[in-house]
Amino acid sequence: MKTIFTILVSLSLFPFLPALAQEPFVRRSVVEEFTGTWCGHCPRGMVGMERLAQQFGDRFIGIAVHTGSGEPMAIPSYPDMQEQLLPGSGAPSCVINRAPFKFDPYSGSGQRGATHYGIDLDFAASLAVPTEAKVELKAQWDDEFQWDVRFTATTTFNMDIPSDGGDLQSPPYRLIFVLTEDGLTGTADSWLQTNYFSPEFTPSAGKDYTDDDMKEWREAPYHVPGVTYNHVAVNTLGIKGGIEGSIKAPIVPLEPQTYTNVITTLASHAQRLIQDKNRLTAVAMLINTTTGEVVNAARAGILPHGAAEPVKGDVNGDGAVNVADISAIINVMAGNGGFSHDLADVNGDGAVNVADISAVINIMANS
């Protein structure tokens, strides 16, 4: 994760930077992790997901898919995807952008060894893959009772659509929408996290996982109460093959197209699972239906019902554009939560960086 100090140093150099040229679309990568409270090895996956969130900030989109009989956070549609994406795999395991490779959500492909954090190397490699599209997402409660969330995804393709991408008149692309929630916890026995790194499991448990990030689990009991679960998928739309008609033909390069649909919180599994609607996050994934892989993705907080369109540059949502919004952008750049990536991307280039601070300064100067 970038530190505030590092960002401030780069800001001090900002006046001397040359004008930014038009850059390719920025990729955000999706990690779909298959896990469960019953899974004794899965605490390392939880550590990996949290470290990715801290390290990569807004470019990391994590979805924790809880599977297994009796698993309190399992939802009907998503567990089936494990066999489709990772045939014969167990837990913990994960995919990055639905590419046909199985990773451990802690050690990744094992470049630093099987018992050391390394998924960041594989994730960073995924970010370096060029993408032919960007996705912007707005999410808003569709009613005053907060029953349905309206997703509005705007997709723009660039001029470099791959030759294997098919006929532009019949594009092989679709959107997927997911609701996730942070901070889930429970007191029933099914919420106890099984922990094979505990000395209560065996005296030598966890001895190979010597890094500091696993210390908490090495010292925890065999069944851990009060665990907080983040990135948990609570409902989906089009999760298996995308939403038909969500990308329309013809695709006109650099011409945005918008698609909207709703995800309900009234489904029985969602009502059972959702604990605090203020902790929900909306995720949109653009998939290539020929390869099955995620082309790009976006996430957004959920705006109140009837809320007006946000003011450009008002990153912190106080209704004005001022220095507080620059502070909010710095927090997004540092990977800290609490602010929307899409609002922080003031200049609309898909990334949150010093150019967005410049854009806010220009808005302040011209207002």
C-alpha 190: how far from chain center: 26
Tell me what pLDDT residue 309 has.
65
Tell me what pLDDT residue 163 has.
43
β-pair type (232-237, 173-181): antiparallel
Query: What distance, in Å, lies between the first and last C-alpha atoms of the chain?
Result: 34
pLDDT grade for 241, boundaries at 50, 70 and 90: very high
Count the alpha carbons within 13 Å of 251 in the hemisphere toward its beta carbon: 25
Give the model confidence (pLDDT) of 114-126 as tens digits: 999 999 999 999 9
Percentage with pLDDT > 70 across the chain? 88
Give bridge partners of residue 138 from the DSSP assignment.
152
Token pair of 269, please? 């599994």
Token pair of 299, please? 């996430």
Q: Across residues 308-325, what is the average pLDDT?
A: 79
> Of the segments 14-18, 130-134, 315-319, 334-338, which one has the largest average pLDDT value?
130-134
| Closest CA relative to residue 326, chosen from 291, 305, 353, 293 | 353
Structural domains in the chain, CATH included, are 27-307 (2.60.40.10), 310-367 (1.10.1330.10)
SS3 260: strand
